[in-house]
Amino acid sequence: MNQSELRAAVVGFGNMGRHHARVYHELPGVSLVALCDADLATVTNYSAQFGTTTYTDLTEMLAKESIDIVTLAAPTSLHFVLGKQLLEAGCHVLVEKPIAASIEDADALSALAESKGVVLAVGHIERFNPAVIALKDVVESGRLGDVRSLVLRRCGPMPPQIKDANVIIDLAVHDIDIATMLVGTSPVSVAAHAGRSQLSDRHDHAEILLTYPSASAMIQVNWITPKRVRNLTLTGSNGYAELDFIAKTVDVFIGTDEAEPIEVADEEALKTELKHFIAAVKGQETLEISSAVGRDALASALDVLAVV
């Protein structure tokens, strides 16, 4: 490892943590040095693959390793306590969405990062889906006119690794963030219905209406549909667009019912996100997935919970 390499760690080694570790391992200029998870067997199984040291205790990891950047992919309930420890140690942190379990915790983490002069990013990965990037470019070009209406669906089977979050905080927060990004302003009101179909302790399905000053967004999320559905439609004052998050396609309709396919880059969203995070750490790019972005998405999701 040369002096220009950033030393990376992943804390929380569930499904997303494993993907973060893989990408850090692949990226030039990054050395993945540590994995940390309460389950030793989970991290040990991957230590040989990535050539890393494994830990079950974050305090021990920070005492023994010199770390520059960290992905925090632990359960949401641990984001504040572990994020606080990482930031206090001077690490630049990308915390998987949502930023925290409460606005108070999100604000405290943001203030701590600012006081320490480190980057705190939030893993809103769909912003880096190449189809979303392509649609955002179309919207910003003005071809579709002003955004008037969005309909977003994010449905599929219950993910077994999610133990401490409901479908609104864990899933709908993606689409709340994307809708707000495309409209370009925060919602002024929310309405919603949610229920418990297969889970008794948490909401596992919801329908949400976000109202913006000159637009609206309808969001359907659930963990009960056997088929994974991830799509978005956008109606503008001059045109219409359809996006498939999984197939990574965008079709635009302007003045005709014939689809105009929009070119979409062949890139992995997570790799693009981590490259952006690293560039922000190095001062080369302005951070798009800031703690303020994460806070706004969380605030809207909590507003939804307050009315269901």
Kindly list the domain boundaries of the chain, sorted by start residue: 6-124, 126-271+298-307
Contacts of residue 223, Cβ cutoff 8 Å, sequence gap at least 6:
156, 157, 158, 159, 167, 171, 198, 199, 204, 205
Q: What are residue 236's DSSP bridge partners?
A: 147
> What would the two tokens of residue 83 be?
């994020």
Residue 149, exposed/middle/buried by CB under 10 A (0-12, 13-18, 19+)?
middle
Per-residue pLDDT of the chain (308 residues; tens, 9 = 90+): 344 799 999 999 988 999 999 999 999 999 999 999 999 888 888 888 899 999 999 999 999 999 999 999 999 999 999 999 999 999 999 999 999 999 999 999 999 999 999 999 999 999 999 999 999 999 999 999 999 999 999 999 998 877 778 999 999 999 999 999 999 999 999 999 999 999 999 999 999 999 999 999 999 999 999 999 999 999 999 999 999 999 999 999 999 999 999 999 999 999 999 999 999 999 999 999 999 999 999 999 999 999 99
Write down how long the chain is.
Answer: 308
The 8-class DSSP code of residue 32 comes to E
Taking each helix axis from N to C terminus, what angle separates 173-183 and 130-141, rounded to the nearest 10 degrees?
A: 30
From residue 134, alpha-carbon distances to 38, 252, 273, 303 in Å are: 39, 11, 15, 29
126-271+298-307: same fold as 6-124? no
Contacts of residue 268, Cβ cutoff 8 Å, sequence gap at least 6:
23
* Cα–Cα distance for residue pair 183/295, rounded to 1 Å: 17
* pLDDT at residue 9 in the model: 98
Closest by CA position to 166, among listed 222, 88, 211, 234: 222
CATH superfamily of 6-124: NAD(P)-binding Rossmann-like Domain (3.40.50.720)
Selecting from 3.20.20.140, 3.30.360.10, 3.90.230.10, 1.20.1440.230, what CATH number does the domain 126-271+298-307 have?
A: 3.30.360.10
111-139 per-position pLDDT tens digit: 999 999 999 999 999 999 999 999 999 99
Helix (H) or strand (E) holding 118: none
* pLDDT at residue 4 in the model: 77
* pLDDT at residue 2 in the model: 40
pTM: 0.94
Q: Computed over its alpha carbons, how large is the radius of gyration of the chain?
A: 20
For the four alpha carbons of 290, 216, 269 and 254, in that order, the dihedral sign comes to negative
* pLDDT at residue 174 in the model: 96
Given a contact cutoff of 8 angstroms between Cβ atoms, the answer to whether 243 and 232 are in contact is yes
Q: CB 25: neighbour CB atoms within 10 A?
A: 17
Contacts of residue 243, Cβ cutoff 8 Å, sequence gap at least 6:
131, 132, 135, 231, 232, 233, 234, 249, 250
